[in-house]
Amino acid sequence: MSNCTQKLRHHIEVLLRRDAAKRSQAVDERALRRRVDDYYLPMFRWTTEVVEAVQKKQGGIKRCVCIGLSCPQGGGKTTTSMYMQNALSLMGKKCAVMSLDDVYWKYEQQMALAKANPDNPLLQYRGNPGTIDVAFLMTLIQQCKTSTGEIVLPRYDKSKHNGRGDRAPLSEWDRKQGPLDVLRLEGWCMGFQAIDDSCSKLSEHMKVVNMELRVFDKIYKELDGLILLKIDDLDWIYEWREQPEQLLREANKPAMTPNEVRDFVDRFMPAYKTYLKELYIDPKHSSSYLATVPRLVFSITADREPAAKPVEFNFTSEALKDYTRGDSEPIRYFFRFKAEPMERYQKLEKVGEGTYGVVYKAKDRVTGEVIALKKIRLEAEDEGIPSTAIREISLLKELQHCNIVRLYNIVHTDRKLTLVFEYLDQDLKKYLDVCEKGLEKPILKSFLYQLLRGIAYCHQHRVLHRNGNENADYHALVNSDLKPQNLLINREGELKLGDFGLARAFGIPVRSYTHEVVTLWYRAPDVLMGSRKYSTPVDIWSVGCIFAEMANGGPLFAGTSEADQLDRIFRLMGTPTVEIYPAIVDLPDYRRDFPVYPTPDTLAHLVPTLDEDGVDLLEQMLQYDPAKRITAADAMKALLAILRGVRNGSFYGTKVRAPHAMVMICLFQNGSIRQKLRGILRLTFEHSKNLALFVGVYKSVLAVLRAHQQHALGQHVATDIGKPGAHWHAAVAGGVGGYLIWGRYSGVNYQIIMYLMSRALISLVRVLADKGYQPFAQHRFKHVYPLLATVVWAGIMWLYENEPDTLHPSLLKSMQFLYDESCHWKDGIVDFLPSPATTAVFLLTWLWT
């Protein structure tokens, strides 16, 4: 490492420690080093290389380079800019920082804008595009780029006029001496680009903001580079804005209340929801000018720490190679953990044993949290820590994802290395052992989606779930071999990839890998035939095998040796030919005398419990030719398409009760009556699965409610749905929980709250029934059944289709029941035919839309 980099690292560490001391906070050494090495240093080196590249393009003529910084409010952009300014100054670069917050309209102009848009809450206060003086900003940018004398940069006083703010007087503006090397231009809406409002569903308020945003293109044409701090959850913004206000309140200083903070962030949330998605996509998929600007993207966590190494677009920085995870890098990352004594952890029980050591369930004596201790054996290692353990630690600290097991800490002694992981209750293998007939469909789809999401994240970050040749010369990361034993599950139904001791990063060109590591049953046929040059498709084959095992309850290809494994695959899928897999003849272990088995038209016979769409997805995973296997990202899209019913859709031509359908749309969709009608027609009839699910849920909930009614009247009748009211609580939870998830709240906690509320409602109804009052038995409540059934259908269908991986387990069983009912009743809707008048209105509406 160069003296320059060492000096810079030390300088930034001093700044971080100083700021922590000011806040009276303890320094987390691991987080500090990670922030320096994975965040500030790569950002600085990338910036300096962009500056050098721009000046080289100008024939060596020095000119100011403008670098944009986009980060949501509270994400640390101001601190980041300050540190970068310090670092650039330390290296002899003149740098100025200007924020979009400093060029808001003056107070008088703000008031005029608010008066001109009295009904638009987005323009009543400063903040959104439209409240920024872009012409003034363009003048300042030109001044910074061309001036060799004193440069004056404005400041905005947000405390003036009762918090509305106003531009500070000239005497308070910052002054810099030109010429500048770098101008850092930051803002929460930096990079936002106007969209075509003619083909989008912008509200009237957002249309004004969208129009004002078009002038931002002038700013973007001045940028020589863009640094993007990317987040995964918009709720983090509320938390980040609340944190400083809470500190002020604790110090008895003027501060916003939690409600005021939420109202404040709510003003900007429509813009985030409208433009962030477009900003986060790969620039190659965009045709705008901004997409051609060099870009460096950092994914950050809720703690504002880097979640992974940065990703570059439109520019390749030679300096950033210093920060890739090469063979020597894991050792440096190994020492980023805070040293903790082994006495901190209390062993509870031994839960497993692997190639490299033993796994214990344990308890953290400090936090009380249950954790997993993975003890690595060092006795056989003459050189100390095994390279496999070093790679595992390095990778786990780089891969921060909700479907990847989290590594908390390590404890290193002379003869032992202990990894402290989050604890998950069981693995998928144990879960399948008690499900001999396979998983219920909603659980299967949820697990498959989470597995694909974790795999896609790994592949995006160039990580294979297979061991690599130890001599491979491309920089390496670590992961696991894919099998049910290495897929961990917790009580909340979350599935995570674990056991990262056998993985290897991949790059381009593809390197050679050993084929002697993957569990036999999940090994791809190209690997079984000796292929040593493979990439992500080998993981997809394993996912396909796991997918089928979850559906059937047992392994798909349970071979006893490599030869037997290949034979079992060929027997069930047919012997591959050159036409199917052209490169097969080049594999080292390929034999022309392989037994010839016929190729079936479909793999449906292998997974009888899967429907047509599920079989189709499995077939795309289990392709002999690796080049033809579906990618993890595309498989996720296909699975979501199946859940939403957008494949093989057709109109059944069956009628339903239009008034009750409109009730659902009135509850769940904004817009005019015509828009609501169009919505319910499209939602219900456009795709066959939606119609089937609607009919099944509709009839199922009616059956449950009627059984409950007759129970209240003392008319006990035999039904095939269990005790009266058995699924009532889950139905109510699904309906109301779906409404909340559709709207403002999306946390699982709200589903649990709705579940408890519905149980309380059931208890109340039964108490009233015992006292002789039967509300659902009275004539005036006769329309409650179809109406409530429609509401429940809306909530359940939205949850089931749009949030398959976040469903609380308490709803899954009921959804499985309702979904199964849909299969029985999708063609038996004659019991619910509407009146002729309703039918006429419904058909006219269909033609009208």
Q: Which residues are catalytic?
A: 481
How far apart CA 60 and CA 53 sit, in angstroms, is 9
SS3 state of residue 174: strand
Provide the annotated binding site: 374
Q: How far is CA 327 from the centre of its chain?
A: 29
The CA-atom distances, in angstroms, between 663 and each of 332, 439, 754 are 61, 34, 21
Cβ proximity of 704 and 728 under 8 Å: yes
How far apart CA 423 and CA 369 sit, in angstroms, is 9
Cβ proximity of 150 and 177 under 8 Å: yes
Q: How far apart are the first and last CA of the chain?
A: 66
How far apart CA 35 and CA 16 sit, in angstroms, is 9
Cβ proximity of 379 and 415 under 8 Å: yes
Q: What is the DSSP code string of 676-687?
A: HHHHHHHHHHSS
| Helices 836-848 and 673-685, axial angle in degrees (round to 10) | 100
526: Cβ contacts below 8 Å, ≥ 6 apart: 534, 538, 581, 584, 587, 624, 626
Helices (H), ranges, 65-214: 77-90, 107-116, 134-146, 204-213
Cβ proximity of 224 and 294 under 8 Å: yes
637: Cβ contacts below 8 Å, ≥ 6 apart: none
How far apart CA 92 and CA 211 sit, in angstroms, is 41
Name the residue among 665, 660, 695 with its Cα closest to residue 678: 665
Alpha carbons within 13 A on the beta-carbon side of 616: 9
Residue 127 CB neighbour total at 10 angstroms = 22
How far apart CA 416 and CA 405 sit, in angstroms, is 21
248: Cβ contacts below 8 Å, ≥ 6 apart: 254, 255
Provide the annotated binding site for ATP: 374
The structure tokens listed for 168 are: 């500070």
Three-state SS for 351-406 is EEECCCEEEEEEEECCCCCEEEEEEEECCCCCCCCCHHHHHHHHHHHHCCCCCECC
138: Cβ contacts below 8 Å, ≥ 6 apart: 218, 219, 222
The structure tokens listed for 615 are: 């079989």
How far apart CA 38 and CA 12 sit, in angstroms, is 12
**In degrees, to the nearest 5, what angle opens at C-alpha 135 toward C-alphas 134 and 138?**
85
Q: Match 């809406």 to its residue by tokens.
A: 189
How far apart CA 480 and CA 695 sit, in angstroms, is 43
Three-state SS for 256-296 is CCHHHHHHHHHCCHHHHHHHHHHHHCCHHHCCCCHHHCCEE
DSSP tag of 39:
I
The CA-atom distances, in angstroms, between 13 and each of 19, 75, 398 are 10, 19, 20
629: Cβ contacts below 8 Å, ≥ 6 apart: 537, 540, 541, 620, 621, 622, 623
DSSP-derived pairing of the beta strands 487-489 and 426-427: antiparallel
